[in-house]
Amino acid sequence: MANNQCDDDDDASGCGLQLTCFSQPSDHDDNVTLHFHILRLHKQIYAWIGCNSAKFGHLYAAAPIPPSNTVGVTSLIGGSSDNTGSAIARRLVLKTGLNIVLACNIPKNTPILEANAEKMLVQKLISLGYTKPKI
Amino acid sequence: MEVSDPVFPIRNTMLSLNIKEHKTDIVISSYEDHFLVIATQIGSMGTILHARKEEGVSVDPTFSVSVVFGKRDEPMLVACARQLIEHISNSGLSKALVLSLGLRDHSTETLKGIVTAVIEKFAEDGKVLRSLIRKAILLECAVGSEECCRADPGDFKNFHGRDAREFHPITVMNTM
């Protein structure tokens, strides 16, 4: 796993980037390798999930909608008939409280794989300290 | 600064520079079919644009650039994406571009600074990649001499009956 950060403590705006990349075989199928690419910005997280390939996939943006606890999700690239990844983006907002931009090339109609990928990604976000503390 | 694990399928480069006295962080990620370029001064991705070369029969390439998220009334951002996709196309690559610009201002100077920095980084990475491809070709070459492999693999010419595009960067790195 490569974990690198580019922080600048002198910048009052707090512009700092942390990049984390890792790969893991799927829990349910040894023939599937999931790749994850996480970029932490000051007010946002960009994440990419790759399934056996390095294709970019579909791109989604999700953000919390104050004052309620709802989350808005939209597809930016692709995703009009295949929303794999949009639900992941939505739940990442709930877990982190941050705006999320998610790219994902998980094939459609693979809910187990999608759930597996989300679980791995969330576990990594927790270990990196990017999620909201549980009250 | 190259930050990728050699076995990770995405090649990432991070750099930081000052443009008009604002710290600008740039991340360039090379996917199989896209480049992702994030340039931020404000701690977020800002406006996101998608640019690609259009398939066509014309000799002169045409490009499609659209804002997929954020400010749709800033032509300078579109021009920035257009310059970068044209450079990618002129380098012989067919990848599309996702460009994210989170900037304090959209002045010509700022955008020129970003375009220049990104193009310089592409050029550096291109040299590294061509060097790796050349080494991989030498490994495959029965004669094993650089004399046999003079043609620039960036032109994707055939070497001993093989197309240099077979040498995907990951394959190249695995043969080293």
Domain ranges in chain A are: 18-127
Amino acid occupying residue B152: D
| DSSP states of chain B | -B---TTSSSEEEEEEEEETTEEEEEEEEE-SSEEEEEEESSSS--EEEEEEEPP-SSSS--EEEEEEES-SS-HHHHHHHHHHHHHHHHTT---EEEEEEE-S---HHHHHHHHHHHHHHHHHHHHHHHHHHHHHHHHH-SS--GGGG-S-GGGT-EETTEEGGG--HHHHHHH-
Tens-place pLDDT, residues B11-57: 999 999 999 999 999 999 999 999 999 999 999 999 999 999 998 77
Q: What is the pTM of this model?
A: 0.80
Tens-place pLDDT, residues B66-120: 999 999 999 999 999 999 999 999 988 899 999 999 999 999 999 999 999 999 9
Check residue B57 and give its pLDDT: 72
Stronger pLDDT, A132 or B14, i.e. the higher one: B14
- What are A's interface residues with B at a Cβ cutoff of 8 A? 1-2, 4, 6, 8, 11, 13-17, 19, 21-23, 35, 37, 39, 41-44, 46, 48, 50, 53-56, 59, 61, 74, 76-77, 99, 101, 103
Check residue B4 and give its pLDDT: 55
Between chains, do A43 and B68 touch, taking CB under 8 Å as contact?
A: no
| Structure tokens given for B72 | 């749709």
Check residue A80 and give its pLDDT: 67
User: What fold characterizes domain B2-127?
Assistant: Ribosomal Protein S5; domain 2 (3.30.230)
Contacts of B4 in chain A (CB under 8 A): 2, 21
Average pLDDT over every residue of A90-111: 93
Amino acid occupying residue B23: K
Check residue B124 and give its pLDDT: 79
Domain ranges within chain B, ordered by starting residue: 2-127
With a threshold of 0.90, tell me whether the complex ipTM lies above it: no
Contacts of B14 in chain A (CB under 8 A): 4, 6, 17, 19
Residue partners of B12: CB distance under 8 A and separation at least 6: A2, A19, A21, A37, B2, B3, B4, B27, B28, B29, B30
Between chains, do B5 and A21 touch, taking CB under 8 Å as contact?
A: yes
Name the architecture of domain A18-127: 2-Layer Sandwich (3.30)
Examine the pLDDT at B169 and tell me if it is beyond 50: no
Examine the pLDDT at A89 and tell me if it is beyond 70: yes
